[in-house]
Every structure is written in structure tokens, then in C-alpha cells.
A = this chain, B = another copy of it.
Amino acid sequence: MALIVQKYGGTSVGSLDLIRQVAARIIREKVAGHDMLVVLSAMAGETDRLLGMARSMSPDPDPREVDVLISTGEQISVALFCLACQSQGYEARSLLGFQAKIRTNNLHGQSRIVGIDATRIRDQLDRGLIVAVAGFQGLDEMGDITTLGRGGSDTTAVALAAALEADRCEILTDVNGVYTTDPNICPKARKIEHISYEEMLEMASLGAKVMDIRSVEFAMKYGVKIHVRHSQTDEPGTIISEEDEEMEDRVVSGVAYNKNEARITIVKVPDQPGMAARILKTVSDANIVVDMIIQNTSAGDPGHTDFSFTVPLLDFEKAMTLVTRLAEEIGAERVLGDDAIAKVSLIGVGMRSHAGVATKMFAALASEGINIRMISTSEIKISCVIAEKYTELAVRALHSAFELDREE
């Protein structure tokens, strides 16, 4: 008999019928002898509906009250789920954030869990009840309702699994697991059986939106092994855990891409100390997050250097305006902007011990005639910026070059 935490996302509980199906799955595990702790999101579309009401009420709605409003979504889901269990003959109890004693800081709309007192949950599980906790919500020190931000129910599940030392933590969703790359682009994409936290973090931040990135960080911190799988099949999905030797043998685990960035280049920046900091401060003061940053040595043109960086596509116009003004002030030649770029990345913990990955990557892109505009590397990732139109071609070329379609 194991203690299993299962989290179901909004599309998995998007109607009364789907909630009944979730109840049936949980009951099946219960009947098999397991203690079942369920974390539910709001029914698909509900959070957006409530946010729409908030915004039509106030252009800049008070985050405290928005949290009171949108936390009703998960409240409705857990109550309906318990009724569904009951109608199938099994007892279930819902617990809201304040009842499950999920304490958070007070950053409304993007709170972090600071502690869980699992006494009541444990007690109800011991009494043989199915327990359903409303995801996404908690209570701060003041006794106010908080929410954890988009995808927060994943974090609720992982945090509960950690607090209760659950045997299994499963994230049930509308995909079969984490893939070597986007199957919509590359039909040969293969489900990864086992991936490390670090790799998953890189995959997630690059746009493979299977799980909320903060829940993976949380799982890594507390060593919670996660199983991401489809909510309507029994097939195994992807296990996310600490890295092991098998993963290190694999050079590359996946190919990620991101089309939502734009590149800005300042040409002929005077090569003086502090110039990079000044440029970045201008951008970050406007709350624009910079991703890649490239500055080359000024060997070819002494006294000047070209400075490039990428920003989210949504902030591109704003960043261009700010940087163009700055370029005049610092006496740079001009500013170039390009919003038709994409970033393709190879990810794998095996890179740490395998040489030649970058060479092979550049060669694979070159063989398809794809020019590389920017390169950045980290311990377990190599990213190249290319023209957006080549994205799919590049992903498929890299996927083949590194034989990701081969069974493990």
C-alpha cells in the first residue's frame, strides 16, 4: 500500500463528465489499496473567466481580491470531485488551501509555499478517505488567500508529496509525457522515459510546456520524483528525478525551441568598462527580462564592439525604443532589431562528459544551409539563434543528427 499524490490539470477536469472520469481513476487506485491524495486545478477556462470579470471591474485589480476571486475555481473542482466519488460509493473530503494548511508568502498572484502542516490530511487519509486538495492556493501569515500563479497546482502537488513523503507523485495531463522534441514539428519525436530535474528545467523554460517550471525546482529541492503522464490512459509517461548514470550515457536528451524572442544588436558600442551594465540596466529597469547576451571582443575594430541580446517578443518594441535612445547617448553607431528569430537548443546532462556536441550541432545546421546568428552555452545546453523560418527544419535536423528517435 502506497501513498499516491495525483494532480489533474484544467483540461482533465474541464466538465462534469471528465470529473467523473477522474473520480473513477482515483477510486480504482483506492480499491487497489493505496492512500489517494488528489490535487485539482480549476475547470478549463474558469480561471480566465474569473480574471476577465476582475479586469472588467478594475483596470489594475487589487491582487489580494483577485486571489479571493480566482481561488473559487479550484474550490468548485474539489467539491464536485468529492460528490463524484460519493455518487460512485466512495467517501472523499475536499480541503482548501487554508484547511490543508498550505502556508505561503504574501506575494498575491505569485506566492511561494513556505510550509505545510499535513496533520489534517494525514488524519483523513488514515481514516480511509480520499482527500482532494484545491491546487494553486494557500494562506499567508495574515490569514489572506493567496495563489501560486499559472501552473501553481503542479507545485501544490509536489509540495504535498514532499510534506507527506508520498511514495508517488503523478502529474496527470493531456500529453503522454515529456518528448525529445515537439511532436507537432518532428514526427519522430519520442517520449523520454526518464529525465533529470536540470534537463526538465531547461526543456520547460524553452517552451516544452508540460509542467510548471517552479514545481520542478521545488521537486529538485526536496528530491520528489515526479511521474508526468496522460490523464486518460494507463501508459507510463516520463519520470523526472535526480540524474543517474544512464542519463549521463545519453549525450543529448532533447531538442527545444522558442520562437517568442527577438534580437537587438547595438552596433559599434564604445568599448569602455561599464557599458554592458549600462545597456542592461536600461532594459531591466523597464522590467524586461533579457535572455541571451553576446558581446564579442573588439579585435577587428579596436575601440568598438557589437552588443547583442534577446528579449521576449512582447517587449520588443518597448526595448527598441529604450535602446535606440540609449545608443545616441553613448555614441553607438546604430541599433538593429530582428523579431523573426528562433532559438533552438540541445539539452542533456551527458554534455558534461561528452566532447564534440557543439561541433556536431553546428555541422548539422550548416548541412541544411541554416546560418547561426548567436550562440550561447551552459553546462547542459547549447543554444543557437537562427532565422525563424528555419525552426522546424533545424529541430528535425538536430533530432536526427543526435539519433533521438532511437529507442533508449
Binding site for B on A (CB under 8 A): 16, 19-20, 50, 53-54, 56-59, 61-62, 64-66, 68-69, 71-72, 75-76, 78-80, 82-84, 86-87, 92-94, 96, 98-99, 120, 143-145
Contact = CB atoms under 8 A, between A and B. Distances in A.
A31 B408 CA distance: 71
A87 B57 contact: yes
Given A53-B16, A83-B57, A143-B99, A76 B65 contact: no
A69 B79 contact: yes
Contacts of A93: 64
A65 B50 contact: no
B96 A83 contact: no
Contact of A57 (B56, B66, B84): B84
Contacts of A50: 76
Contact of A80 (B53, B80, B145): B53
A309 to B, nearest CB: 37
A82 B64 CA distance: 10
Given A16-B56, A53-B16, A61 B86 contact: yes
B72 A58 contact: no
A53 B83 CA distance: 10
Contacts of A72: 72, 75-76
B98 A83 contact: no
A82 to B, nearest CB: 4
A72 B42 CA distance: 13
A55 to B, nearest CB: 9
A328 to B, nearest CB: 39
A82 B63 CA distance: 11
The interface centre, meaning the residue of A68, A96, A143 with most chain B CB atoms within 10 A of its CB, is A68
Contacts of A84: 57-58
B79 A66 contact: yes
Contacts of A57: 16, 19-20, 80, 83-84, 87
A43 B248 CA distance: 57
10 contacts: A19-B57, A54-B79, A54-B80, A58-B87, A62-B86, A65-B82, A65-B86, A65-B92, A68-B82, A99-B144
